[in-house]
Amino acid sequence: MLAAWIVRLLLYAVLAYVILSIIKGIAGSGRRSAPPPPRPAPLDTLVKDDVCGTYLPRRDSIRAVIDGQERFFCSQDCRKKAKDGGGPSQ
């Protein structure tokens, strides 16, 4: 009866190997059929204008470094407001 036990163990080993190779095959074919985008274009990411709360694509925004922090604005007006009114304005 020891032989039957060994055969069963071998069967499980083969089964595990087959399942693993199937999983690998699915992962490989999935990668082939639907390639993930290489990298999100940084210019298309949305940035927030802190002054008026508008979200806009980074490409269309006005970038400014204020107090060592990179910030984005929808217009020159907002950029001016951020630069002038560092503290509580008005």
What's 29-68 look like in SS3?
HHHHHCCCCCCCCHHHCEEEECCCCCEEEHHHCEEEEECC
Choosing from 30, 52, 57, 66, the residue that interacts with Zn ion (CB under 5 A) is 52
The Cα angle at residue 89 between residues 84 and 90, in degrees rounded to 5? 125
**Residue 49 contacts Zn ion per CB under 5 A:** yes
> Measured from the CB atom, is 4 or 65 closer to Zn ion?
65
- Minimum Å gap between C-beta 67 and Zn ion is 18
Q: Which of 81, 21, 86, 23 is CA-nearest to residue 51? A: 81
Residue ranges in 68-87 that form contacts with Zn ion under rule CB under 5 A: 74, 78
> Measured from the CB atom, is 47 or 74 closer to Zn ion?
74
Q: Which of 89, 47, 65 is CA-nearest to residue 81? A: 89
Q: How many residues bind Zn ion (CB under 5 A)?
A: 6
> Measured from the CB atom, is 17 or 55 closer to Zn ion?
55
The footprint of Zn ion (CB under 5 A) covers 49, 51-52, 54, 74, 78
